[in-house]
Amino acid sequence: MANCRQRTSGNFAILRKNTLPDFWSIAFLGRGENIITSNQSDFTKITLDNGLKIMLKEIHTAPLISYWLWYRVGSRNEKAGITGISHWTEHMMFKGTDAFPNGVLDKTISRDGGYWNAMTYMDWTTYFSTMPADKGELILRVEADRMQNGIFASEDVDSERSVIIAEREGNENSPMFRLDEAVQAAAYQKHAYQYEVIGSMEDLERINREDLYTHYKTYYVPNNAVICVAGDFETEAMIKQIKDLFGSIPRGPELPIVEQAEPKQKEEKRLTVKGPGETPFLRASYHAPETTSEDFFILTVLDSLLTGASNLNLFGGGISNKTSLLYKELVQKEMAVSVAGGLQATIDPFLYSIVMTIHPNHQPEDLITVLDQQIESVQNKLPEKSALARAVKQARALFAYGSESITNQAFWLGFSEMFDDYDWFTSYLDQLAAVTPQDVQRIARKYLRPENRILGIYLPDGNGGAQE
């Protein structure tokens, strides 16, 4: 993920991470609009004639509204030569339009007590804000305007090039960024998941204004967008407001097809990355299922058992992992300083990763041996019911903690829609609760195999060295 307003970058991977009134139906919203209502989920979903999806959820617990505008575009839609272009386009959206000049909105939104930001990920780009309930119309007007009227002035392109290159250079000082980039490049030969969201330095130096503007006009169209709103509003009024602002924006062309084919990895890959710092790291990454797979939920529980519960949400808190198998075997026995696991929600199959900070008195091979022993234990022996129950409870609790606020509720509306639909979110806790010891064993055998793994080792060399 690249969270651009804070100028941080890297694929979204957080490794360590209401009861509402009964819903009422809307009888008629206009020709060609698909309407979904649900008493269970308490949300409204509408598709306008131009293809724009609208997802609304009333929450009257506080006088706040959270707005999220999602575009189905990220590094997944890139190729060599234009890597990082989705992230760069996101930067350009904050350069203003004729109607809303650069700098005016930051002051206005701040003055009104609001907050706004944006993020670019592998599968999507999103713009979001949380505002007092009586101040939110401004955000919708801004998003409708910049969906159509981005300027992409040459001088702004050049200035952001410098900003993003500096961001990239800063990331290169991070051992985990270097290691993540190397592992992803090794894991994928054809699929665009091989690229970091921020892009390569070579591409950042060559991308021009025409490249950016073409990318913007291709993907920033109603039929590639989802508006999600949660908070203190009336649904009918919000629908009218969004329709008035977005309904006349023309539908865009058919979107380019993403190449999804990726050759199956046949043997374990190992790599060593050297660079600045004082601490060595080990990352074991396994090819993992896409988010819509039933295996995804089981692997989530397996991760909780091995490393502790991981958080898919951007704003949720963490839960102690001291009861996890690898914490007990690695951290408590002082072989590792820390251990964390992470499974990312993606459209196509991505990676499940376990990251260990290596203790100064041990070598990477020591940790690999213990890791393999623990994995083999799960593969050969059903997990104890008490341990599995605790892992499920922790995973469910962390998910619930990250779903409570108005901002989080709006986030989940769009996030789940990016790779599936809102039913994925509403069924998540039940899916975890249904996982059995046999499921965990089967998934461990299926995915946590040496031939399905990329082992990346980071070794500090004190002089910014390169990958071997």
Query: For the chain, what is the mean pLDDT?
Result: 89
Is 255 within the bounds of a domain?
A: no
Task: Using pLDDT thresholds of 50, 70 and 90, give the confidence band for residue 462.
Answer: low
Residue type at 321 in one-letter notation:
N
Say yes or no: 339 and 283 in one domain: yes
Return the pLDDT at 428.
94
Predicted confidence at residue 58, as pLDDT, reads 97
- Say yes or no: 161 and 214 in one domain: yes
* Three-class SS state of 357: strand
Q: Is residue 235 located within the same domain as residue 278?
A: no
Shared domain for 239 and 274, answered yes or no, is no
- Domain range holding 293? 269-460
Q: Going by C-beta distance under 8 Å and a sequence separation of 6 or more, which residues neighbour residue 100?
A: 142, 145, 146
Residue 153 pLDDT greater than 70, yes or no:
yes
DSSP, residue by residue, 223-276? GGEEEEEEESS-HHHHHHHHHHHHTTSPP-PPPPPP----PPP-S-EEEEEEES
Compute the distance between CA of residue 230 and CA of residue 407 in angstroms, rounded to an integer: 7
| Cβ atoms of residues 132 and 77 within 8 Å | no
Over residues 425-440, the mean pLDDT reads: 96
Q: Of the given ranges (97-111, 143-157, 258-272), which has the lowest mean pLDDT?
A: 97-111
pTM: 0.90
Count CB atoms within 10 A of the CB of residue 468. Answer: 11
Please indicate, yes or no, whether residues 358 and 410 belong to a single structural domain of this protein: yes
Structural domains in the chain (count): 2
Give the CATH number for residue 290. 3.30.830.10
At 255 the pLDDT is: 92
pLDDT (tens digit, 9 = 90+) per residue, 289-332? 999 999 999 999 999 999 999 887 655 555 678 999 999 999 99
Per-residue pLDDT, 318? 59
Range name among 26-40, 298-312, 322-336, 374-388 with the lowest pLDDT average = 26-40
Q: In this structure, is residue 425 part of a structural domain?
A: yes
Percent of the chain's residues with pLDDT above 70:
88
**Domain-embedded: residue 166:** yes
- Given a cut of 60, whether residue 464 has pLDDT beyond it is no
Residues 328 and 198 in one domain: no
Same domain, 423 and 288: yes
pLDDT(40) > 60: no
Residue 261 lies in a domain: no
pLDDT computed for residue 188 by the predictor: 97
Residue 407 confidence class, pLDDT cut points 50, 70, 90:
very high
State residue 103's pLDDT score.
82
